[in-house]
A and B are shown apart, each in its own frame.
Chain A
């Protein structure tokens, strides 16, 4: 084979790589389109039946029937935004937890970080007397502190004791039960008003956020996600092992601790507004990873999009399955996530980083 032919041959083989890149980008675009379609359906579907045209007018407060304006602007839009932002935040937090702990089974809910956050919220309401309807910062702060406590235990176990990924999840189960038990105890001593507001945390509720809460949640999710995207190649380096990452000039300890804190902050913010939502953080990154592989350049935006889409789809299902009753969203996501979690356990971690 002469050099011209060789070049041609190389270029042909080269297209293999391009194909992979195109596939990844196409997947992200498809996810985005699915999200858009789901948004439109979510706007339209609901117990208050209207025409599609009215809904669009309602977004801009211009529907002829003022009730439609109220339903769209005060009920459906906040709910949709809540689902998108919370889903994105949980998805991306799961993605980052999985890489910094090099554990495919990691996510806020499987490690007990979410359960810690729920306990923190309950503690703020019942013991510290925080106002549970206004979405006070005290609840978020208390959630964050409790979830950090869990994170520290997980970090200590995985980094310093070098425990296997499966055992970390076992530790997560123990921690989850501990905090669920503590939350139940708090509920036992709570008065009726506090109790009703607490119950929703254990099921998750996308329908009780107001615009100022949504803005705060969006701000947290946006800033933290941008930071994650900025660090995308650091995460890629971490995939080839701690030693290699250090040799590439990365401060692995700082990377792990800083990102763990950010994941906790994001999770605590979301949990303190909408309660406990299981498995989105676990499922979203895995769906994306199946298509694009382990490159965080695509994996991070993919997890954001997939998280949003999954939560919004689950909510759509929860609202429409036996309308007008709205099923608890946490139950729906668990039905979705638990089978995948089992599948991952059966499959083992062969396909993930073997380092």
Chain B
């Protein structure tokens, strides 16, 4: 159970980016964060594990306050995949091994290696272990980053626009893997997405953000005409095709 309360953030000399963010979420759920550019989606995500330190607020996971934990401890509970995927001359294995960094003392243990192997297996990356990251495609690299995040054995997975540089096939594949991980391992995933229909296809819950505040959160029923108007400033129709809810955006 994750409870977020009064989360606020502002740049030292700038406007307030996040205003009293408050919501909660349960284990094993896939939550999409939707909103326009500048609504504070990425900032909110990064505040949860103190990549950006919020001015005030509380993030409670099963009753424990995350924001007052030491960074290493946070990294053992929350994994984060940044928007830009690194492309350095590092092997897939080493990159995934980084996920054990929060647990590392002097070196990595047999146990660490076993967990890395499992993550590689879960994302079907075993055959690529020895290849350098900069030789892989965008989709493959995104999978490596997911494997790294899994290796942290987190309770919460934060993904900042994981599909932004992927083709359609890879977008579906990556999100399918994430949803699968959530449902089978009971991990929570918070995913910033720009494609509403992609979000509708995979998410259990939605968090709609507008101008640094939470507009609404809940299941897919909260996505109606009014919500589209409010958060995206677009008109649209919510239609059902083959038993799936989809959004048909009005053309100007």
Contact = CB atoms under 8 A, between A and B. Distances in A.
Interface of A: 10, 13-14, 16-21, 230, 233-234, 236-237, 239-241, 243-244, 246-251, 289, 293-295, 297, 351-355
Given A294-B89, A353-B86, A249 B134 contact: no
A233 B104 contact: yes
Given A294-B89, A355-B84, A13 B98 contact: no
Contact of A244 (B72, B82, B87, B131): B82
B101 A17 contact: no
Given A249-B102, A353-B88, A10 B71 contact: no
Contacts, number: 106
B132 interface: yes
Given A289-B89, A355-B86, 6 more contacts: A243-B46, A247-B82, A248-B152, A353-B88, A355-B87, A355-B88
Contact of B95 (A240, A243, A249): A240
Nearest to B74: A249
Contact of B71 (A18, A20, A233, A246): A246
A250 B90 contact: no
A259 to B, nearest CB: 16
Interface stretch (B122-130, B214-222, B225-233, B239-247): B122-130
Contact of A250 (B71, B73, B132): B71
B79 A247 contact: yes
Contact of A17 (B76, B86, B129): B129
A16 B93 CA distance: 11
Interface residues of B, number: 42
Nearest to B50: A246
B75 interface: yes
A237 B90 CA distance: 11
By Cβ-Cβ distance, the 9 closest A-B pairs, closest first, are A249-B75, A17-B130, A247-B80, A17-B129, A13-B127, A249-B72, A16-B130, A240-B86, A20-B130
Contact of B101 (A14, A237, A289, A293): A237
Interface of B: 46, 49-51, 70-76, 78-82, 84, 86-91, 93-95, 97-99, 101-102, 104, 106, 126-127, 129-132, 134, 152, 158
A239 B91 contact: no
A133 B153 CA distance: 58
B120 to A, nearest CB: 10
A295 B87 contact: no
Q: Residue among B46, B99, B101, B131 with the most chain A CB within 10 A?
A: B101
A294 B101 contact: no
B101 A354 contact: no
A237 to B, nearest CB: 6
B3 to A, nearest CB: 21
Contacts of B80: 243-244, 247
Contacts of A14: 126, 129
B72 to A, nearest CB: 4
B51 A240 contact: no
Contacts of B131: 16
Contacts of A237: 98, 101
A18 B130 contact: yes
A248 B90 contact: no
Nearest to B80: A247
Given A243-B82, A355-B84, A250 B49 contact: no
A324 B210 CA distance: 78
Nearest to A290: B89
Nearest to B131: A16
Nearest to A20: B130
B89 A17 contact: no
Contacts of B102: 248-249
B89 A241 contact: no
A243 B51 contact: yes
B101 A233 contact: yes
A246 B70 CA distance: 11
Given A236-B98, A248-B75, A295 B86 contact: no
A243 B84 CA distance: 10
A19 B86 contact: no
23 contacts: A14-B129, A19-B130, A20-B130, A21-B130, A233-B104, A236-B90, A236-B98, A239-B90, A240-B95, A243-B51, A244-B81, A248-B99, A249-B70, A249-B72, A249-B101, A249-B102, A250-B71, A250-B101, A351-B134, A353-B86, A354-B87, A355-B84, A355-B87
